Structure 1
């Protein structure tokens, strides 16, 4: 199996894993692990190989954020008892949304003007890149697409066991894939929503042969990522009207190193605002003791960008390494401390954004968001752009 397929199989094999927040919810909930679990599943990340502004674990040692990420606040703090998001009027475009505590129904929307609104009883599933559209998940599994500048809305049926949603960078298109894994055929339906007109069309993708949608371009062209059983190990581009594959990008053309495979903690592929750079995380299993291997062993971790126009790797940024997590005996087993880790949150005009989640200094077995960090595209420098106050645990960024 090639490095690219290793990278994408986990994402494409289960549609829900495209949602970085869904994965991070599981991390926040994971408070006690028994000795039968693999210790590597609970690892601390440290800032290594990156130069820039950082914070100590638990959010101490704060420095002034670097004011380079337009639209993001210098500090994100929960508002006491924010009002409900109104249904009868618009509130303006969203800057982001956050989850307070570990209650999946505790989502709060932050508008561009800084006002905050509770999204009561609903999970924020996605925000369009321009901040206009909010996609929420109801407890019954149905989804509602809401225009935050007005009252327009679209609904998607309930009763589905998994789904994905992908926006085009210009926010004109939304692709929703709905899968019922309880069905014998594992049926998957792909919808393309034109957000300018509200028109919804079914894309006739042959998903028995093709793969899952991991991005949609402004033109409507779909980017498909391979499933485990796929005979093709690269990326495919497909026409959203006919469902036909119009271009193959073999993994051998993408420029990954032979030793690079998928990391377990960076999240999903994200198409940048330029409409042609697809970002994803990789790790390089360099030989321990070699100059390429990080201190203390482990694996080098990178965020890479593929140019869909040329089919070539064009960007590569080093990321923090892993070190063993804190642990202590518990009821004859072992309790592992909350990992300190970073997720790919989104792509800002100035560079990729990472969400830094870390254990509390007073209690290493509880977690919270510490900061939003930006990787400068010209230098690869990691800088803190937003400090996050507890009890915020997760953040959803537009796109």
Structure 2
């Protein structure tokens, strides 16, 4: 079995949706198939530490950590056996998060009051930062935007998103990029939606630029990033009405070291709730052990915080090491289980959130979510804020 990283990359290629959570959907399904074909290996004990911070965490210990409180997040997330279907004729309240129930291959919405609702559709594409709006991908490629506080809805017909939904921090704007799915043209249309009026406008971005929208500011200014296949050479800011580039930010100004790359598994740069702090995942490629591969250990990964207003680096947060996967001989080669690792889930008001995925104690070839963790923006301290029960495999956070 290949590592989670390779499977995530394959999922991105198949689904044409470059969001970490979406890329992991196929990982979960494939590892189930492999688990049926491969005998369970020895249980994997995983313990990791945040560089420079004395915090113990992990999915293999005998005792669960006591979660710290974080506004809007439950202390424990447990899947409901038979959640009712999300009603279309009434509001249900604002969203707290959504999860994929690995036992039933279904997405479930969790509202701020703790109620759970089954979501019909292929996947949950996103939720607005204030939890009011839900974007769902239907099997026919249509994306449905639903007001969870009422019955309002809007549809985006057909196509593949190339960058997913991007919401402004004040939840007033949504940007969706839709491709025609044709390899010959790869034509991409960018829509800006005013969520207060439901007005939708096409943003005439320069088609010769390989950039995709990775964030939208409250003012409507778009943050453009290179495509996932390209190195992060820098960022561009574009007018959300005219599409004209109004500012270039070279990579040297982003606080990145010369040997650092932006790995796909850390997702796209994310704009914080303050509307001006951009969080960028990086990895030091010059550090021993940083080479990609399912058996690689710690990779010296960081999140850097860049202020779009001042043009300065405001924070640098070390991420936990990736624990090597279990391995065993298989058909004359080496077969790998799933590593213990973390992905950027979203940006909370108190700091970045990480989704911790870990192999099962009894079967290292079965992976699942075990917790949501918070990196305190002021101190860099890592703490568990939500304990997650299996078989939850993936989680989406508003924003």
Q: Shared topology, TM-score over 0.5?
A: yes
**What RMSD, in angstroms, separates the aligned Cα atoms of the two structures?**
2.7
Work out which of the residue numbers 61, 64, 69 in structure 2 matches 1:62. 64
Describe the shift of the 1:133–1:45 C-alpha distance in structure 2 as closer, same or farther (beyond 3 A). farther
Equivalence map 1:1-399=2 (5 Å): 16-31=16-31, 32=34, 46-49=48-51, 51=53, 53-58=55-60, 60-67=62-69, 69-101=70-102, 104=105, 106-160=106-160, 162=162, 164-209=164-209, 211-227=211-227, 233-288=233-288, 299-399=299-399
Structure of greater relative contact order (alpha carbons < 8 Å, 6+ residues apart): 1
Describe the shift of the 1:392–1:54 C-alpha distance in structure 2 as closer, same or farther (beyond 3 A). farther
TM-score by length of structure 2 reads: 0.86
Gaps (5+ residues) in structure 1? 1-9, 34-43, 290-295
Deviation of 1:327 after TM superposition, in Å, equals 0.9
Deviation of 1:30 after TM superposition, in Å, equals 4.1
Counterpart Cα distance in 2 of 1:263 and 1:185:
27
Deviation of 1:249 after TM superposition, in Å, equals 1.1
CA distances 1:152-197 after superposition (whole Å, capped 9, x unpaired): 0110011447452100011000000001232522100000000000
CA distances 1:103-139 after superposition (whole Å, capped 9, x unpaired): 65x0000010000000033411100000000000001
TM-score by length of structure 1 reads: 0.86
Query: How many residues are paired up?
Result: 372
Counterpart Cα distance in 2 of 1:349 and 1:232:
26
| Partners of 1:72 and 1:385 within 8 A in 2 | yes
Counterpart Cα distance in 1 of 2:14 and 2:211:
11
Counterpart Cα distance in 1 of 2:349 and 2:281:
19
| Partners of 1:50 and 1:319 within 8 A in 2 | no
Counterpart Cα distance in 2 of 1:79 and 1:231:
41
| Partners of 1:15 and 1:162 within 8 A in 2 | no
Counterpart Cα distance in 2 of 1:164 and 1:200:
16
Counterpart Cα distance in 1 of 2:370 and 2:376:
19
Counterpart Cα distance in 2 of 1:310 and 1:286:
29
| Partners of 2:110 and 2:117 within 8 A in 1 | yes
Counterpart Cα distance in 2 of 1:288 and 1:230:
23
Counterpart Cα distance in 1 of 2:156 and 2:163:
11
Counterpart Cα distance in 2 of 1:354 and 1:124:
18
Describe the shift of the 1:244–1:343 C-alpha distance in structure 2 as closer, same or farther (beyond 3 A). same
Aligned-partner SS, 1:18: coil
Counterpart Cα distance in 2 of 1:273 and 1:246:
22
Counterpart Cα distance in 2 of 1:87 and 1:81:
18
- Give the equivalent residue in structure 2 for 1:40: none
Deviation of 1:86 after TM superposition, in Å, equals 0.1
Describe the shift of the 1:237–1:169 C-alpha distance in structure 2 as closer, same or farther (beyond 3 A). same
Counterpart Cα distance in 2 of 1:218 and 1:100:
33
Gaps (5+ residues) in structure 2? 1-9, 36-45, 290-295
Describe the shift of the 1:260–1:15 C-alpha distance in structure 2 as closer, same or farther (beyond 3 A). farther
Describe the shift of the 1:63–1:183 C-alpha distance in structure 2 as closer, same or farther (beyond 3 A). closer
